[in-house]
Structure 1
Amino acid sequence: MSDESPLITSLRAAVAAAPGDVPLRLHLAQLLLEAGNSEAAVAEAAVALTHAPGDPQARDLMLRAMGGPAAPAAPVAPVVPAAPQTPSVQPPVQPPSSREEFDWQAAEQEVGDVVPPRFVAPDQPDAATGFERPLTSDGSGDAGDADAYDVEAPGGLRLADVGGMQEVKQRLEAAFLAPMRNPELRKLFGKSLRGGLLLYGPPGCGKTFIARAIAGELGASFMSVSLSDVLDMYIGQSEKNVHEVFRMARRKAPCVVFLDELDALGAKRSRSHHSGLRNAVNQLLIELDGVEGDNEGVFVLAATNVPWDVDIALRRPGRLDRTLLVLPPDEPAREAILRYHLKDRPIESVDLGKLVKVTEGFSGADLAHLCDSASESALMDSARTGTVRMINTKDLLAAAKQLRPSTEAWFASARNVALFANDGGMYDDLLAHLKKKRKL
């Protein structure tokens, strides 16, 4: 481009600053064509057509740049900045009948490396991502279709990867996993390959992590669903979304459907003033019963911090009829969590034994925050003194002293429910824990 005229060089800079200015780009293409640079003129005309498909001036310029016959066209006038005006609708220019038909397919192939395709056909890779973008059943490509839900393939995470929490693992094995792993015994005792389990407990204690580990133990796909995936402003769409979730799970069976924050998705209908949410709960009950489809191989896990706010119909036998209390991590679990959050930080002489003892009742999220606070303290000291120092036991113990376990507020609320609303013995394990910790 070193032999280009100063005017063309200036126009290139102007086009780069305003890529959507079609008249300016066409003026540049006209000057390039007059200067004998047909290839560059074709590229500029092609880009102009992507911004203004069907523009007669751009098509005519493209035709002349490609060497085809064209009707005499008036030169493109230099672009002069003017006040914005309301665009007028012009009738399409009809080409003369004597004009030879232009081969647009050949032109498109020639400029294909300059201008990406405007549309992606079904089952063809998206130019931006390289992945397929399948259209939905109605051709809309709407993300609400079941094909848009993320279904994770069976992963390598197992219960052995969950630090400590032996009591939780034993209860999971006895009440949920053992029957699923033994098809002969299951067949003998008439146990269906389906099930529902409700995980409840203080926030930040690893309920989601345990659900993923259960999916790994079962060798099943994993599908996480929250309120935002289901609730829709349009009448009937929320119920359809619930149905599509289970349709996808049945197609991917064996599959674990994880209903996160069940108190939001399956709230008590008597307290709900949103008709869409009530209808979504009704549809969820239908899907759990498998009335409209066979749920064989679909395992439903749910998690909530407030099981007393979940609609009671969801917890009746045959649905989410088994419950498991997920308590704050015990000592082995706390040590594993602390090791994980400190492994990539600059530490020296950290006594995890001391730290584990002073973090009784801390949730996994609390422990992560503790490590962040200690790291921040060491960082601020390093910035103040100008000398980098490592994170030590003193930083971590000081951070632990400043923090209060976030689980205390949850146990204060759960205590009253366990004492006065323990219908059917659902909270017997919570009562046993409170008595053990002398919180009753």
Structure 2
Amino acid sequence: MSDESPLIRSLRAAVAAAPEDVPLRLHFTELLLAEGRHDEAVTQAAVALQHAPGDEAVRDLMVRAMQLPTVGAQPPAFDWASAEQEVSDVVGPRFAADPADAGDATEAPLTSDGSGDPADASAWDIDAPGEVRLADVGGMQEVKDRLEAAFLAPMRNPELRKLYGKSLRGGLLLYGPPGCGKTFIARAVAGELGAGFMSVSLSDILDMYIGTSEKNVHGIFEAARRQAPCVVFLDELDALGAKRSRTHHSGLRNVVNQLLTELDGINAAQNDGVFVLAATNVPWDVDLALRRPGRLDRTLLVLPPDAPAREAILRYHLRERPIESVDLGKIVKATEDFSGADLAHVCESAAEYALLDSARTGTVRMIGTKDFLNAAKQIRPSSESWFASARNVAMFANDGGMYDDLVAYLKKKRKL
């Protein structure tokens, strides 16, 4: 912004240094309006509303920044579409991405010269150990406890591993309804282990040329072994490792065979430090060979967020929205069985109600509890269809107690 005046630059720096100073931000917003910077003035006024939602001066300034008419004024040709667009910049994008799903896909594998040779393990990007921990996962204490007991505790205690002859490796399958944070949990596990993280999906592996898909699978695991400790996260395992008896495409069958080879390779001592986590919404469609002992032999059911988790998710999605006197307890109660993605949708819909109401009346108002409750009434939990299918599996295909945790949950919810 080279065309800014020295005063604007100075005030911008002062506001950044004192973000909670509402009078200073209002003065800065007035100067922005004077220079015709209405978009930026709307943003600054919205932040001021967060800190002083009941301040009439702040609300009046927001109206002026948005160039909305005052109450009683009836301009003959007001551009409502333009006003909605300006407000949408303040309340965030219309469709928010789920944070438990953000960053799932990796880029297409390329070597340093751009040739994309799948045989080169250095072609695969591995994220450095992140700062996400299980403590960052809101609620879901039962899931955390099971992760700690069945997976993390043995990995954290080298003396106990040595005593019991357990090597530093493992495989875990996360399953459950879509949008419930399986990817986020996988990243949290990597953070707990201080391990790198590589997310792999079908598009990263499948190739039109014969033999290349298998080379891609091998390259992924080779990269993980070279940069151990590393978590290899196989997203949508039902697509990567579908039952070979139902797969007519030879390329997909070969991918499953190669996955089995690599998972068996984890039994070798030199492969310690490679942790394989996988996620699927339909574990009953995964090839049974992938779930045999020594491979993805441990499973964890990831259910829709419980009440503490729903509150944490709602707080996350509302952290930058202009809200006022929101009763989170009522919203949490009204959103039972909602997935994380459903909760994001509720927040988007509530913001949209307030946005359109402000545009129609010409008076900016905060998002309130009523907006969220109305949104929750209009949205059906996306997990319902999943549980309808899972119920049949739990009743008629629970061979060897594979889905005992699912059966217990359905009985608890009186759905079985």
**TM-score when normalising by structure 2:** 0.72
User: Which of 333, 338, 344 in structure 2 is aligned with 1:368?
Assistant: 344
CA contact (8 A) 2:354 2:366 kept: yes
Give the structure 2 partner of residue 321 of structure 1.
297
Give the structure 1 partner of residue 135 of structure 2.
160
CA contact (8 A) 2:176 2:280 kept: yes
Give the structure 1 partner of residue 192 of structure 2.
217
How many angstroms apart in 2 are the aligned matches of 1:265 and 1:163?
Answer: 29
Identity of aligned residues (%): 82
Q: What is the RMSD of the two structures over their aligned residues, measured on CA atoms?
A: 1.6
CA contact (8 A) 1:163 1:332 kept: yes
Assess, with a 3 A threshold, how the Cα gap between structure 1 residues 421 and 270 changes in structure 2: closer, same or farther: same
User: Which of 214, 219, 237 in structure 2 is aligned with 1:239?
Assistant: 214
* TM-superposed deviation, 1:142: 1.9
CA contact (8 A) 1:256 1:299 kept: yes
Q: Does 1:286 align with 2:292?
A: no
User: Which of 284, 308, 313 in structure 2 is aligned with 1:337?
Assistant: 313
How many angstroms apart in 1 are the aligned matches of 2:114 and 2:175?
Answer: 39
Which structure would you say has the larger Rg?
1
User: Which of 376, 383, 399 in structure 2 is aligned with 1:400?
Assistant: 376
Which letter maps to 2:123?
Answer: A
Give the structure 1 partner of residue 330 of structure 2.
354
Which digits, 9 at most, give the CA deviation of each residue in 1:217-241, with x for residues without a partner? 0000000000000000100000000
CA contact (8 A) 1:230 1:241 kept: yes
Which letter maps to 1:158?
Answer: R
1:394-433 to 2 correspondences below 5 Å: 394-433=370-409
Which digits, 9 at most, give the CA deviation of each residue in 1:270-319, with x for residues without a partner? 11111111101100000001179732110000000000000000000000
* TM-superposed deviation, 1:150: 2.2
Give the structure 2 partner of residue 124 of structure 1.
none
* TM-superposed deviation, 1:162: 0.3
User: Which of 219, 225, 230 in structure 2 is aligned with 1:250?
Assistant: 225
Give the structure 2 partner of residue 169 of structure 1.
144
How many angstroms apart in 1 are the aligned matches of 2:175 and 2:317?
Answer: 24
* TM-superposed deviation, 1:355: 0.4
Give the structure 1 partner of residue 48 of structure 2.
none
Give the structure 2 partner of residue 180 of structure 1.
155
Q: Secondary structure at 1:204's aligned position in 2?
A: coil
* TM-superposed deviation, 1:148: 3.0
* TM-superposed deviation, 1:143: 6.4
User: Which of 275, 280, 301 in structure 1 is aligned with 2:277?
Assistant: 301
* TM-superposed deviation, 1:146: 3.2
Higher relative contact order (CA 8 A, sep 6+): 2
How many angstroms apart in 1 are the aligned matches of 2:154 and 2:163?
Answer: 11
Assess, with a 3 A threshold, how the Cα gap between structure 1 residues 433 and 250 changes in structure 2: closer, same or farther: same
User: Which of 141, 148, 166 in structure 1 is aligned with 2:115?
Assistant: 141
Give the structure 2 partner of residue 197 of structure 1.
172
CA contact (8 A) 1:286 1:292 kept: no
Q: Secondary structure at 1:222's aligned position in 2?
A: strand
CA contact (8 A) 2:127 2:197 kept: yes
* TM-superposed deviation, 1:386: 1.4
CA contact (8 A) 2:177 2:303 kept: yes
How many angstroms apart in 1 are the aligned matches of 2:299 and 2:311?
Answer: 27
Which digits, 9 at most, give the CA deviation of each residue in 1:111-167, with x for residues without a partner? xxxxxxxxxxxxxxxxxxxxxx9955xx66326443232211011110000000000
Runs of 4+ residues deviating >6 angstroms:
none
How many angstroms apart in 2 are the aligned matches of 1:202 and 1:304?
Answer: 9
Assess, with a 3 A threshold, how the Cα gap between structure 1 residues 135 and 272 changes in structure 2: closer, same or farther: closer
How many angstroms apart in 1 are the aligned matches of 2:180 and 2:291?
Answer: 22
* TM-superposed deviation, 1:383: 1.0
How many angstroms apart in 2 are the aligned matches of 1:386 and 1:226?
Answer: 47
Which digits, 9 at most, give the CA deviation of each residue in 1:227-270, with x for residues without a partner? 00000010000000000000000011000000000000000011
Q: Secondary structure at 2:271's aligned position in 1?
A: coil
Assess, with a 3 A threshold, how the Cα gap between structure 1 residues 214 and 388 changes in structure 2: closer, same or farther: same
Give the structure 1 partner of residue 47 of structure 2.
none
Give the structure 1 partner of residue 247 of structure 2.
272
| More helix as a share of residues | 2
How many angstroms apart in 2 are the aligned matches of 1:400 and 1:374?
Answer: 9
